């Protein structure tokens, strides 16, 4: 297979690069460069800019507001955005709930939600996990009981990313008490302004408050917010999680981090020379680069053969992809030496404050700490290995 970009793709890359150079505000790029957790306002501002161009949801079909690009164009676009430090597309909006609504939702739900999802005017969070339902999601106990035209929801969601900033949360709830665990689950959209919702942010290892506990106490949700049929929630969640895991290989992100790591190692003084002169450090970078190239070719091969949507591929690429994101953050922290161990306040609401150390180091320790989570969220590594063993190796 030839993995070189063809002239069309090269021209497309130039077009994207020129658009970003013209439209991405530099103060936003500067803030994104310094943190693992871009602010909601910056994410929304960039989504609005992209939306005006019709590029805010690059994986979506044209009929729902996407550009209708193939997988190669999506990768090129994503790489260029990352290299320029553009804020990421809002994950829950664009990669999770959006595809669910245009695939399983009714006309009224599409009309109400798709446009504000695309523009970033409405931000979503994902309420699946619970205190006793993470890997074993089907054991979730949050209950939604039908009362006339509404559901009354009671329960507790946990690890809900950015719930404190979200306007809506899509949830899995148990609506059919007597059905077998997988069949009793439904997919419900909840307006976060509804009385009875209490959101409590959780402090993480990196010092951020990127996840929350969400308490739901007699929350009245219109039955019109049910997506698909009652009891179809598990099938919808499987569709969504496969989407999420395929995306979670995050090769473009690790490629960018590797380029920056190598550039950094060539400037960091060590002994009488620079870090890059150290053969041990070079060997660690080389091992990671070889693994990353193999992963990238696996993804590209799947794209070129049209298999990239296959659900078993999702676990195969999520597993090594999430581990590589951790490895590059470890090497980056090592390269920054003492600065790589310093937790900076910039990401946590004090952006703009005068900070010690070189600009590039701000965020290295935070990223290192937060990347511990990549092998947990979106399905833990042990669970991915289990899926690979069962579905691919047929053990
Ligand atoms: C930063 C972060 C953001 C998150 N964001 C969200 C979000 O927005 N929405 C949401 O719904 N959830 C979110 N999660 C939750 C995440 O999906 C769960 O943490 C994950 O599914 C694991 O569930 P758990 O934490 O309950 O761990 P458990 O399922 O209790 O697992 C504990 C350990 O046991 C292992 N284990 C479990 N089952 C098996 C098995 N069958 N075989 C072998 N080992 C096993 C796991 O791999 C893990 O190491 C987030 C988590 C993190 C860390």
What digits encode the pLDDT tens for the residues 98-127? 999 999 999 999 999 999 999 999 999 999
Q: What's the confidence (pLDDT) of residue 395?
A: 75
Q: What's the confidence (pLDDT) of residue 349?
A: 45
Atom of ligand 1 nearest to the CA of 370: 1
Ligand 1 pocket check: which of 136, 173, 383 to mutate, most ligand atoms within 8 Å of Cβ?
383
Q: What's the confidence (pLDDT) of residue 303?
A: 75
Does the Cβ of 213 fall within 6 Å of ligand 1? no
Does the Cβ of 386 fall within 6 Å of ligand 1? yes
Compute the distance from residue 171 Cα to the ligand 1 centre, in Å: 16
CA dist 313 and 308 (Å) reads 7
Do β-strands 124-127 and 168-174 pair in parallel, antiparallel, or remain unpaired? parallel
Dihedral sign computed on CA atoms, order 184, 185, 189, 191 = positive
Q: What tokens were used for 181?
A: 């665990």
Q: Give me the chain's average pLDDT, please.
A: 91
Does the Cβ of 160 fall within 6 Å of ligand 1? yes
Per-residue pLDDT of 134-186, as tens digits, reads: 999 999 999 999 999 999 999 999 999 999 999 999 999 999 888 888 899 99
Q: What's the confidence (pLDDT) of residue 212?
A: 98
CA dist 61 and 64 (Å) reads 6
CA dist 313 and 300 (Å) reads 12
Dihedral sign computed on CA atoms, order 84, 39, 380, 61 = negative
**Which are the contacts of 302, defined by CB distance < 8 A and separation ≥ 6?**
308, 310, 313, 317
Q: What tokens were used for 147?
A: 């009362």
Compute the distance from residue 187 Cα to the ligand 1 centre, in Å: 20
Does the Cβ of 129 fall within 6 Å of ligand 1? yes
DSSP letter string over 44-76?
HHHHHHHHHHT-S-TTS-GGGTS----HHHHHH
CA dist 294 and 99 (Å) reads 29
Does the Cβ of 202 fall within 6 Å of ligand 1? no
Q: What is the pLDDT along the chain (395 residues), one digit of tens a residue?
A: 666 778 999 999 999 999 999 999 999 999 998 888 999 999 999 999 999 999 999 989 999 999 999 888 999 999 999 999 999 999 999 999 999 999 999 999 999 999 999 999 999 999 999 999 999 999 999 999 999 999 999 999 999 999 999 999 999 999 988 888 889 999 999 999 999 999 999 999 888 999 999 999 999 999 999 999 999 999 999 999 877 666 678 999 999 999 999 999 999 999 899 999 999 999 999 999 999 999 999 888 877 776 655 666 788 899 999 999 999 999 999 999 877 777 655 444 444 555 566 777 878 888 999 999 999 998 899 999 998 998 877 87
pTM of the model: 0.92
Compute the distance from residue 93 Cα to the ligand 1 centre, in Å: 21
CA dist 156 and 132 (Å) reads 10
CA dist 99 and 286 (Å) reads 37
DSSP letter string over 280-307?
HHHHHHHHHHHHHHHHHHHHHHHHHTT-
Does the Cβ of 128 fall within 6 Å of ligand 1? yes
Q: What is the 3-state secondary structure (H, E, C) of 159-195?
A: EEECHHHCCEEEEEEECCCCCCCCCCEEEEEEECCCC
With beta carbons less than 8 A apart as the criterion, state whether 385 and 392 touch: no
With beta carbons less than 8 A apart as the criterion, state whether 384 and 319 touch: yes
Cα distances (angstroms) measured from residue 75 to each of 79, 216, 324: 6, 38, 18
Cα distances (angstroms) measured from residue 56 to each of 53, 87, 112, 114, 123: 8, 12, 17, 12, 13
From atom 13 of ligand 1, which residue's Cα is the shortest distance away? Answer: 159
Residue 356 CB coordination number (10 Å): 9
Q: What tokens were used for 97?
A: 């709930």
Atom of ligand 1 nearest to the CA of 210: 1
């Amino acid at each position: 297979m030839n993995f070189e970009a063809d002239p069309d793709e090269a021209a497309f890359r130039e077009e994207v690069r020129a658009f970003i150079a013209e439209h991405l505000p530099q103060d936003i790029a500067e803030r994104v460069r310094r943190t693992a957790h871009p602010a909601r306002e910056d994410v929304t501002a960039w989504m609005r800019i992209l939306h005006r161009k019709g590029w805010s949801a690059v994986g979506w079909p044209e009929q729902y507001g996407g550009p209708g690009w193939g997988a190669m164009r999506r990768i090129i676009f994503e790489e260029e955005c990352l290299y320029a430090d553009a804020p990421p597309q809002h994950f829950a909006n664009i990669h999770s709930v959006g595809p669910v609504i245009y695939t399983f939702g009714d006309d009224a739900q599409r009309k109400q939600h798709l446009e504000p999802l695309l523009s970033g005017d409405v931000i979503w969070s994902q309420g699946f996990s619970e205190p006793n339902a993470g890997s074993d999601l089907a054991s979730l106990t949050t209950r939604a009981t039908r009362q006339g035209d509404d559901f009354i929801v009671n329960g507790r969601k946990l690890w809900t990313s950015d719930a404190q900033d979200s306007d809506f949360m899509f949830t899995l709830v148990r609506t059919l008490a007597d059905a077998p665990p997988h069949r009793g689950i439904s997919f419900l959209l909840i307006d976060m302004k509804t009385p009875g919702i209490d959101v409590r942010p959780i402090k993480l290892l990196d010092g951020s408050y990127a996840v929350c506990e969400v308490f739901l106490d007699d929350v009245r949700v219109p039955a019109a917010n049910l997506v698909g049929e009652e009891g179809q929630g598990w099938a919808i969640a499987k569709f969504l999680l496969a989407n999420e895991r395929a995306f979670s290989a995050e090769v473009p992100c690790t490629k960018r981090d590797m380029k920056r790591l190598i550039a950094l190692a060539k400037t960091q003084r060590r002994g009488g020379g620079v870090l890059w002169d150290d053969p041990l450090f070079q060997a660690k970078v080389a091992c990671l680069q070889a693994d990353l190239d193999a992963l990238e070719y696996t993804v590209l091969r799947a794209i070129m053969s049209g298999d990239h949507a296959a659900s078993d591929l999702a676990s195969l690429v999520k597993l090594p992809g999430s581990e590589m994101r951790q490895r590059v953050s470890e090497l980056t922290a090592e390269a920054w030496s003492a600065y790589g161990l310093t937790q900076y306040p910039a990401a946590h609401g004090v952006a703009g404050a005068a900070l010690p150390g070189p600009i590039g180091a701000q965020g290295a320790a935070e990223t290192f700490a937060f990347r511990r989570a990549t092998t947990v969220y979106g399905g833990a590594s042990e669970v991915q290995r289990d899926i690979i063993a069962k579905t691919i190796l047929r053990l």
